[in-house]
Amino acid sequence: MFGSLSRVIDPHVEQYLLAAEGERIVDEVRRHWAAVALPVLRIVGAVVIFFASLFLDVRIAWLPMVLALGIVLQGAWRIVEQHMDRFVITNMRVFRVHGILAQHRATMPMSRILDITVEKPFLGRVCGYGHFVFESAAQDQGLRDIRYVGRPDERDATIQTVIQRAGLRASIRSFVDDGQS
């Protein structure tokens, strides 16, 4: 049973690799646990409502029970939704796969990345997550905001390293060498 469940709730990002071109995954980023904190709190609140409704009159107890069930289902949906959202860094591009019933994918080649802004709100600095904002050479892009990225500074350094190794940006050495000529 768990094998078939994992086929449904895992985005299987490796199927989107360009294996014939030598593409490989450098980092697969799952959402930070903070992305599911609010849905988990909602579920806990719904459980409290459910058990509190057991002490109510039978004629009205069904209403908070139905409300609690709705909150649990909505919270579970949000948790699975966050689990299915993956940001992938390869040696050639970055892409994002997300969606539960229907999967959506947005891709950006490394050569198109002009700028990456890493935003770390106060809570993100405390808990270890941040948000990425990509600026690209394209006017309209499908991959711009990636939220709740764990260890954002390391992920940013990984992307910058891949861009540098691909030779897409001039190295500092070439500027130093040009200055000595």
pLDDT digits (tens, 9 = 90+) for 85-99: 999 999 999 999 999
Structure tokens at 166: 């691909």
pTM of the predicted model as reported, rounded to 2 decimal places: 0.81
Q: Are residues 165 and 131 in the same domain?
A: yes
In a domain, 62, yes or no: yes
In a domain, 181, yes or no: no
In a domain, 179, yes or no: no
Q: Are residues 24 and 59 in the same domain?
A: no
Q: Are residues 22 and 50 in the same domain?
A: no
pLDDT digits (tens, 9 = 90+) for 50-102: 999 999 998 999 999 999 999 999 999 999 999 999 999 999 999 999 999 88
115 lies in which domain range? 2-31+87-170
In a domain, 180, yes or no: no
* Domains held by the chain: number: 2
pLDDT of residue 3: 59
Residue 178 in this model has a pLDDT that exceeds 60: no
Residues 6+ apart with CB under 8 A from 98: 11, 81, 84, 85, 86, 104
